[in-house]
Amino acid sequence: MVQASERVLVYRDGVFEAMLEPGRHSVRKIWRVRRESVDLRVRQLTVSGQEIFTADGVTVRVTAVVRWQVSDPRAFVEYAEAPLDLLHVALQLAVREAVGRRELEELLRPDTRSAISAELPEPVRAEVAGLGITVEDASIRDLALIGELRAALAETALERQRGRAALERARGEAAALRSLANSAKLLDDHPALAALRMIQAASDAGATVVLTPEGFTPPTSR
């Protein structure tokens, strides 16, 4: 029984005889007949932890993935002993080329990962041509610094955040001082406002304010 997601290749005496499509088939089980089942579903291969030198001599660690599927079952079985090993190497070479000709500053830009990912599929397809493989897409999953440079970059980012926080505090203090200066100028220009503000504060505190023709007496506690 051949499933919808596979094809079965039949070899008799080492010679290709037929490719069985999905469904039930009758194949005599004799020692001269060999059957190879090939999965046609989309699969993913990961190349992880590659350490690559950038154009300016910095080492980065890169993880890349490629999505692929078998498009020609016979070529996939007959062309190479280990087609997945060749696909793995093809992705490695493409990643090394794309990352290795860029400097660190460019690699750290937010849009660079997408740019590199867009460059990977074509060279991978070229390397695996004839293997019966269709490369759906390839992309960079992770790109990280290693060793002391990673720690230095983390410290730089931390200092940048501290600087931003200090700047925000300074802006807040400056705004508060401007508000106080404006209030002081307003009270100087309008003395009655100072009296009204004192009365309001005294009332809020539960004190008694006595108004007189001359103005008011200082608040007393209740």
> What is the pLDDT at residue 182?
74
Q: Which residues 6+ apart lie within 8 Å of 206 measured at CB?
A: 221, 222
> What is the pLDDT at residue 154?
46
pLDDT > 90: what percent of the chain?
Answer: 40
CA within 13 Å, CB half, 105: 1
- pLDDT tens track for 110-120: 889 899 999 99
Mean pLDDT taken over the chain: 81
- pLDDT tens track for 85-108: 999 999 999 999 999 999 888 888
Residue 80 has pLDDT above 80, yes or no: yes
Residue 51 has pLDDT above 50, yes or no: yes
> Which of the four pLDDT bands, split at 50, 70 and 90, describes residue 178?
confident
* Cβ atoms < 10 Å from Cβ of 27: 13
